[in-house]
Amino acid sequence: MKLLKTTQGTVLDVHVKPNSKEFKIKIEEEELIVFCRETPIKGIVNKELIKTLSKFKGKLNGVMHCFSGSREMAEQCVKMDYYISFAGPVTFPNAHKLHETAKQIDLNKILIETDCPWLAPQEMRGKRNEPAFLPFTAEKIANLRGISLAELAEATTKNTKQIFHIS
C-alpha cells in the first residue's frame, strides 16, 4: 500500500495478490471514487478495501463506483458515509445480489451511472453504453424498490448534487 502525491491530489494505491488483482482508491478534494471489480479473490479484496476505507471514516465521503459487491459490503460502505452507485449490471436478470442490494440500501445513499462506454443495461447488451441508456438502470432500481421512477430520479438527483457539491 502506498500514497502518491500527484498534481490532481492524493492517490492511495493498494495491490492485492495473488494473480496481480488490484484496486485503486483515488482521493481528490476530500471525496473518493472507488472502483473494485468482481474478481476470483473478491472476498479478500473487499475485506482489504473496507479495512482501508475505514481509516478515512469521518474524514472523507465518496462513491462506490459501478458497485458490484454484496448487500453487506454496501451496508458497511453506507455506514462510512459512501454512496452506492449502480450501473447497467443491476438490470441483468441473474444479478440477484445486486438486485437485493439496490432494493435494501438507504435511498438517500443511491446513485445511478452509465459507466459509459461499458456495461450497457440488459436492454442494450452488446451496444456501446451511453447516457441515453440511464433510464433503463433507473427504471430497474425503481421497480426493485417498489417506488416510482420520479421518486427515484428525485432522490438520486438530490444525492448527486450533495456528493458533488452541485447547487
Amino acid in position 111? L
Residue 18 — very low, low, confident or very high, per pLDDT cuts 50/70/90?
Answer: very low
From 114, 116, 91, 117, select the one nearest 102 (Cα to Cα). 91
What domains lie within the chain, and their CATH numbers? Answer: 27-163 (3.20.20.140)
- CB neighbours of residue 161 within 10 Å: 11
| pLDDT of 10 | 41
**Cβ burial, residue 8 (10 Å; 0-12/13-18/19+):** exposed
Alpha-carbon span 47 to 92, nearest angstrom: 25
Top-confidence residue, 152 or 38: 152
- The residue behind cell 453487506 is 72
What does the mean pLDDT of the chain come to? 80
The grid cell for 16 is: 492485492
Q: What is the mean pLDDT of residues 33-37?
A: 59
More confident residue, 83 or 39: 83
User: Which pLDDT value is given to residue 7?
Assistant: 45
Is pLDDT above 80 for 37?
Answer: no
DSSP 44-110: HHHHHHHHHHHTTBTTBEEEETT--S-HHHHHHHHHTTEEEEE-GGGGSTT-HHHHHHHHHS-GGGE
